[in-house]
Structure 1
Amino acid sequence: MPAIVATAHAAGVPVALDNTYAAGVLFDAFAHGVDVSMQALTKYVGGHSDILLGTVSVGTAEAQERIGATHRLLGMAVSPDDCALALRGLETLAVRLDRLEKTTLEVAHWLKARPEVALVLHPALPDCPGHEIWRRDFTGSASVFSVVFEPGWDTQRVTDFVEALRLFRLGFSWGGTHSLAMAYPPLPRTQRGYDGRIVRLNVGLEEPADLIADLEQALKQVA
């Protein structure tokens, strides 16, 4: 981010960042020179998967003037009920993030030791691409990470694994109380040849041992 900000600002271009993964607190966007920081409050701040809400924050009075004028022109607004639910989530955000980080790391380390797994993509793991940047710029990690299965796994086997999970639910969002799993289809990548062997996991507030047991039984089913 420091390199992006320096390059963009040298050309007079403002920098906007989606800070949802860090829940707006694990990465200090404005301290790193970002002009506009956005996040989906639907996720960590809401914390219970029961609101659809987002924020746009700015770090300077000039940015506030420009963003505020556009906001008023578009007539965008949110309901008092949604705001109340977001404020409720903020009261427990620190406690939940601490629990989510510890449980996620426990599950990630367990998966890393499995013979079926080729790579665990969690930024707090030293062998994850981008780990040094995460270590430099972040104060913690969140609940989302990905698993790359061994080359012998095809798309159907990955799908069967996800569908065999019982505690992990199928879902695209994250940051709530429930653990979620989603298989990625084969997508053309210029730098990664994972060929549909990726599953993205979001760890919730369940007990780590229960989540690991669920993953283990699903792996046994597709063995």
Structure 2
Amino acid sequence: MADNSSRHGKATRAVGAGRRKEWTGPVVNPPIWRASTHLYESEAERKAALPDNRDGRFYYGRRGAPTQWALADALTELEPGAAGTVLYPSGVAAISGALLAVLSPGDVLLISDNSYEPSRSMGLGLLKRLGVETRFFDPLDLAAYSDLFCDRTKAVWLENPGSLSMEVCDIPALTAKARERGAVSLIDNTWATSLGFPALERGCDITVTSLTKHISGHSDLMMGAASAGELLYRRLRITSQQLGQVVSPDDCALALRGLRTMPLRLERGMQSALQVADWLAAREDVAHVLCPMRPGDSGYELWQRDFTGGCGLFSFVLKGRDEAARARLVDNLELFGIGYSWGGFESLALPFDLDRIRDAMAWPKADWDTGDRWGVRLSIGLEDPADLIKDLESGFAAMDG
């Protein structure tokens, strides 16, 4: 098991994680091992490798080599309570792989209603075809959540904060109820990563992260990961191998490079996001700023209690405008690209409307003006925040122009 204690600070741990001497040799970074076939010195050595299913043991390319092992080891070191980490070719592959590892036909899955849309689609599509029933719940309503459990409930899928609408939920309370009912708690922890939210320590059993986002940091790779304690890690690993999941050593090398600077980028993104969020909150044409890191936000107290950091991702909702006005605003931004994903060095703006992807939670929210529904998610990159504010100011000027 990796040394994932917190005896060092975040930046120190990110610099050293996964850099085992047997994988790096005399250089700083693990070399890129491109290989499908691993060769053995003898038949006895080949036979000995068959049952030894672990990272660090050469077998065949699907089980990885030092480049992949170093990344998995690094992620395990950064996740307090983890026994191991499984890598996947995308964040969505990590979501499906984790859910398939714990669910069987006839089971019930509870999904937080503010989860990432592909997570919701997994419950309504693939898992439904496999005989798994999905029930959506409002993660802010603990009583209604408790009432959804039944003898067939085997897993709960969480996200914190919620995708797009940024609600912060009480993860320790939600996972305690799941454990009481014998269900596995899984969380999409991509927003804060293990550096900002130690999910296993907060009660989750499996934590899933899209490495495409903050860990990559450069918008140039697709990858996901799932970490867990010993028993569930073994289930994740076997399921992944049975599905034939494998990741490129070249992409792993890029992810390892991004990992080293992630603490600095997360902190810079969070501070810049707070400046932009404060500026937006002062505008009359903004109805709501959805940023749990900001004092006064409905999720701020839980964020302060449970998180040790944040990031540059938050949302805002226009006041008294329509979809066409929102499009004019976004189209006139120069420093913000229009695109999916986030966590890269560049800033992005993504318009969203949640009507079609909410089942248990209202949108607009019950205490909002019903006309305030047109949202924009911002991923704040590494540009100067003053320049981003000027760019947004130009976009707002064009909105009603």
- The reply to whether TM is greater than 0.5 is yes
Residue in structure 2 matching 1:94, options 243, 248, 263: 263
Q: CA deviation at 1:192?
A: 3.2
1:7 positional shift: 0.7
Runs (4+) of structure 1 exceeding 4 A deviation are: none
Partner SS, residue 5 of structure 1: helix
Tell me whether 1:112 sits opposite 2:299 in the alignment.
Answer: no
Question: 1:215 — aligned with what?
Answer: 392
1:58-110 Cα offsets, whole Å, 9 max, x none, are 1x211122212212211211010010000000111111111111111111111
Residue of structure 1 in register with 2:88 after alignment:
none
Decide whether the 8 Å contact of 1:15 with 1:35 is kept in 2: yes
In 2, Cα distance between equivalents of 1:185 and 1:159: 12
Equivalent residues of 1:184, 1:196 under 8 A apart: no
CA distance in 1, matches of 2:362, 2:304: 23
Residues 138-181 of structure 1, C-alpha deviations (whole Å, 9 max, x = no match)? 1122111111111x201110111111111100011100011000
CA contact (8 A) 2:267 2:310 kept: no
1:43 equivalent in structure 2: 213
Show CA shifts across 1:43-63 (max 9, x none). 0000000000010111x2111
Per the TM alignment, residue 184 of structure 1 is displaced from its structure 2 partner at its CA by: 1.1
Q: In the aligned structure 1, how far is the partner of 2:288 from the partner of 2:373?
A: 13
Residue equivalent to 1:162: 330
Asked if the contact 1:155/1:185 (under 8 Å) is kept, the reply is: no
Count, aligned residues: 221
Shift of the 186–100 alpha-carbon distance from structure 1 to 2, 3 Å rule, reads: closer
For 1:8, which of 178, 195, 200 is the aligned residue? Answer: 178
Listed as ranges, the matches of 1:107-186 within 5 Å are 107-150=276-319, 152-185=320-353
Q: Structure 1's 221 and 47: CA in aligned 2 closer, same or farther, altered over 3 A?
A: same
| Residue identity in the other structure for 1:97 | L
Please list every run of 5 or more consecutive structure 1 residues that lacks an aligned counterpart in the other structure. Answer: none
How much does 1:127 deviate? 2.7
Quick one: which of 191, 196, 199 aligns to 1:26? 196
Q: State the Cα distance separating 1:210 from its structure 2 match.
A: 0.6
8 Å Cα contact 2:354-2:363 kept in structure 1: no
Preserved contact between residue 355 and residue 363 of structure 2 (Cα < 8 Å): no
SS in 2 for 1:15: strand
Q: Which amino acid aligns with 1:99?
A: R
- Distance, in Å, in 2 between the alignment partners of 1:3 and 1:186 is 26
Distance 2:263 2:198 in 1: 15
Cα distance, 1:186 vs structure 2: 6.0
Could you tell me whether the CA contact under 8 Å between 1:155 and 1:196 is conserved in 2? no
Partner SS for 2:377: strand
**Other structure's SS at 2:271 match:** helix
The 3-state SS of whatever aligns with 2:173 is helix
Separation (CA, whole Å) in 2 of partners of 1:159 and 1:127: 28
Unaligned regions of 5+ residues in structure 2, if any?
1-170, 365-369
Matched letter for residue 218 of structure 2: H
Q: 1:186 to 1:130 in 2, by over 3 A?
A: closer
**What is the CA-CA distance between 1:196 and the residue it aligns to?**
3.8
Q: Judge conservation of contact 2:189–2:199 (CA < 8 Å) in 1.
A: yes
* Partner of residue 242 from structure 2, selected from 60, 67, 73: 73
- Superposed displacement of residue 24, structure 1: 2.5
SS at match of 1:31: coil
User: Aligned to 1:96, what secondary structure does the other structure show?
Assistant: helix
For residue 23 of structure 1, report the CA deviation from its aligned partner: 2.3
Q: Which secondary structure state, in structure 2, belongs to the residue aligned with residue 182 of structure 1?
A: strand
